[in-house]
Amino acid sequence: MKISKLYIFIIISILFSSQNNCIAQEESAGKPVLKLQYFNNSGVQYLIIDSKLKKNKVLTPQKNITYELYLDSSTTSNLIGKVTTDEDGKAKSFLPVSLKSAWDASPNHTFIVKLGEDEVISDYSITKTMMTIDTSADGDRLINVNLKKYDGKNWVPVPDAEMKVGVDCVGGVLSAGDDPTYTTDAEGNISAEFKRENLPGDPKGNIKIIAKLEGNEEFGNVIAQKEAHWGVPQILDNDFFNKRTLWATRYRTPIWLLAMAYSIIIGVWGTLIYLVFEIVKIKKIGVSK
């Protein structure tokens, strides 16, 4: 009885030891982490791959890694393209025109990513969607968004879809109103009042209105954009760099700064020259005595 318990203890110890060794080897070698995203930006469809290596809980971009992207099946006829990651571990590929018939054939599609002969992603699926955005024609500043999906026969509304609606900015989307996000109703519609005032626009006062559905499990990333004359016209100052400013070139330094610099230089060197003359006088007086 004691011997059997000893055997059981030894076996459990060996199993735990082998498991710990596998974990340690995995942490030392690093574990590849691959993320795939689908984008539909106003009808332009593309995929973005983000390849990283997880080692000791730190993610490091994997550059110069070549992946193959496929639509629905990893056959040559369904090849979307071959991409190589950049220094940030990212790569981008547009859906080619040659796959239009395959794309139109089904309401749902699966994207496959291969590294060499291995399928590293084989279950990233999306449903075809269509998003439209428009602005009110009357005096009210309203943004109207409609989201639909394809069920195989018709385009049907998508209710309860949460998205951002507002102005396209460098750091993201500046919400049109007080709410950070908006949700579609039963007809797939959103009507958002544009409350932002005095936003800088282009020389004609146009700003880019955007609706963005991000990271949706069924639809991926869907974006719709439209220009609206709701901004403040910005006049380009072509004479900007010809003015005497602190950020101008050396020949356009402000007068007050030149006066300050030259006065300091004259004051320092004048003091040194005066001291030299005084020292010479003192030496002459000492020699005469």
What DSSP line would sit under 190-258, residue for residue? EEEE----S-B--TT--EEEEEEEEEETTTEEEEEEEEES-SB-----TTGGGS--TTS-GGG--HHHH
Please, which pLDDT band fits residue 38 given cuts at 50, 70 and 90?
A: very high
Q: Using an 8 Å Cβ cutoff, are 59 and 33 in contact?
A: yes
Please, which pLDDT band fits residue 252 given cuts at 50, 70 and 90?
A: confident
What number of CA atoms fall less than 13 Å from residue 236's CA on the CB side? 4
State the Cα–Cα distance between residues 135 and 192, nearest whole angstrom. 10
Is 277 a residue whose pLDDT tops 80? yes
Tokens of 213: 């559905």
Q: Is the dihedral of CA 156, 159, 162, 165 positive or negative?
A: positive
pLDDT score for 85: 96
129-228 folds as Immunoglobulin-like (2.60.40)
pLDDT score for 26: 47
Q: Is the dihedral of CA 72, 76, 78, 81 positive or negative?
A: positive
In this predicted model, which residue has the larger pLDDT, 236 or 244? 244
pLDDT score for 80: 96
Task: Give the mean pLDDT of 149-171.
Answer: 93
Is 137 a residue whose pLDDT tops 80? no
Architecture label for domain 30-127: Sandwich (2.60)
Q: At 209, phi and psi to the nearest 5?
A: -85, 140
pLDDT score for 23: 47
State the Cα–Cα distance between residues 10 and 109, nearest whole angstrom. 50
Residue 81: strand pairing partners = 69
In this predicted model, which residue has the larger pLDDT, 41 or 23? 41
State the Cα–Cα distance between residues 93 and 62, nearest whole angstrom. 17
What number of CA atoms fall less than 13 Å from residue 78's CA on the CB side? 16
Could you report the per-residue pLDDT of 50-66, keeping only the tens digit for each?
999 998 889 999 999 99
Q: At 251, phi and psi to the nearest 5?
A: -85, -5
* Helix/strand/coil for 145: strand
Q: Which residues in the chain are classed under CATH 2.60.40.1940? A: 30-127
Is 240 a residue whose pLDDT tops 70? no
Is 18 a residue whose pLDDT tops 80? no
Could you report the per-residue pLDDT of 175-226, keeping only the tens digit for each?
999 999 999 999 999 999 999 998 998 888 899 999 999 999 999 999 999 9
Is 241 a residue whose pLDDT tops 80? no
Q: What pTM, to 2 d.p., does this model score?
A: 0.72
Task: Give the mean pLDDT of 109-132.
Answer: 94
Q: Output the average pLDDT for the chain.
A: 88
State the Cα–Cα distance between residues 200 and 190, nearest whole angstrom. 25
| Strand 162-169 to 182-183 pairing | antiparallel
